[in-house]
Amino acid sequence: MITRSRQVALVLTAVLTAGAACRAHDREPSGHPAPSAADGAFTLVASGDVLPHGSVIDRARFDAGGTGYDFRPMLADVEPVVSGADVALCHMGTVRGEKGGHTGYPVFESLPEVARGLAATGYDGCSTASDHSLDDGADGIRRTLDALDRAGVRHAGSARTGGEARTVTLLRAGRARLAHLAYTHGTNGVPLPPGRPWAVNLIDADRILADARAARRAGADVVAVSLHWGTEWQEEPGERQLTLARRLTAARTAGRPDIDLILGTRAHVPQAYEKVNGTWVVYGTGDQIAGGTVGHDGAPDPRGNESTIARFTFAPPARPGGRWEVTKAEFVPQLFDIDAGRVVNLNRALARGAEVRAVRDRIRDAVLGRGAARDGLVMGE
C-alpha cells in the first residue's frame, strides 16, 4: 500500500524531474521584481541549516554518477530564488572532514562539494557559527573556511586566525555594502581551542552590538546578524530569543539602529518572523537540507525537513547616513524531500500539481504566528 506521505513524495519526484528536464527553456521568475538600478534598492535572501546527514551524502554521490559528490541538483528548484537576489546568505551547519572524509549526526564532517553546490546555486556568503563548528576542532574550521574560499563563498562566525576574527565580512548588495555577522549559542559543550578564543563567535549581546558598530565604521550600509539560537523542535521562539531580539533591535547610535536584520537558525523547524522595534527578526528558518529527522521523543518529525527562505527588499535612505529601509518582506516555503533528495520550492510545486498544500500551509502558519502579516510580511514564490 502506498501511504499518503509516499504519494506526495512520488508526485514531488515527478515534478522535480520534469522541472529539471525543461529548466533551460522554462525557468520561472523568482517571484519578485528585479531591483531598480535607478532607485538603488536591493534584495537579500537567507536560508536555513545545511546538515548533510548520511542519506544526503549518499544522494550527492548518486547525483554525481557514483564518482565524487554533486550537491547542485539538490538545490536546483530554489536556484531561481537564490540567484535572483542581489545577495544570498546560507547557514553552513557542519565542518569539512579530513581528506574528504564525511560523517553524519551526531558529529558532522562534511565535504568540499557542499560549498561548491552552494556557490553554484548563487549563495554569496554563509554563516559558520553553530553548535557543530568545533566537531573537528580548529582543523575542521580551517578546512571548512578553506573550502568556502575556494568556492567563492564568503563566511562569518568562525575564524582561522585572530586577524580574520576581527575582520568584518562585507558583501556588495547592489550599491549598498552589507555586513554579515554570525554567532552561536554554544558548541555542544566542546571548549574553544586553547589559545583561540576567537575561533567561533559565541552569542553575547554586548559583543554583538560592539561588532555591529564596528561594521558601521568599516563602511557597512546594512548590518545583518545571523544567530544560531533557540530551542530545538520548538516552533514558538523562546524567552531568551525574544529578550535578545528586543535588546539588539532597540540599540541605536546617533538615532540609527545598529542592526538592520536578524536571521535565526538551529531550531530545525520553521519559526515565526516578527518586526521588533522596527527591525525584522527571523527567529528560525528551519533546516534547508537534512536527512530524515526525529524529535526529542525519538519519533520521526517531518517538520525537520520544512523551512523557509527569507527575502527582504531594502531601499536606500532618503538622506545620507539614514537607514536603508525594508520595503518588502517575504518568505518562501521549502521542503527537503528525503525520497527525491531535493529541496522543493513548495509554491512552485503546487503550481505544477504536487499535493503539498498542507505542508505549505503548516509552514505559513508557523511563520505568521506572531502577527507578521500585520507588518506586511507576505508569502513569496
Q: Which domains, from first to last, does the chain contain?
A: 4-21+41-379 (3.60.21.10)
Distance of CA 327 to the CA centre of its chain: 21
Taking 3-state DSSP, the helix, strand and coil percentages for the chain, each rounded to the nearest 5, stand at: 30, 25, 40
> What is the structure's pLDDT at 108?
54
- Alpha carbon separation from 112 to 54, 121, 250, 287 (Å, rounded): 15, 15, 39, 19
Q: State the pTM of this model.
A: 0.90
Q: Count the Cβ atoms, other than its own, within 10 Å of residue 7.
A: 11
- Alpha carbon separation from 202 to 167, 207, 211, 282, 339 (Å, rounded): 16, 9, 12, 19, 36
Distance CA 362, CA 360 (A): 6
Looking at the chain, the number of H-run helices and the number of E-run strands are 10, 17
Ordered per-residue pLDDT tens for the chain, 381 residues? 333 343 344 345 444 544 443 333 333 334 444 445 448 999 999 999 999 888 999 999 999 999 999 999 999 999 999 999 999 999 998 765 554 544 445 555 668 899 999 999 999 999 999 999 998 899 999 999 999 999 999 999 999 999 999 999 999 999 999 999 999 999 999 999 999 999 999 999 999 999 999 999 999 999 999 999 999 999 999 999 999 999 999 999 999 999 999 999 999 999 999 999 999 999 999 999 999 877 778 888 999 999 999 999 999 999 988 999 999 999 999 999 999 999 999 999 999 999 999 999 999 999 999 999 999 999 999
Burial class (CB in 10 A: 0-12, 13-18, 19+), 180: buried
Question: By the 8 A CB rule, do 116 and 151 touch?
Answer: yes
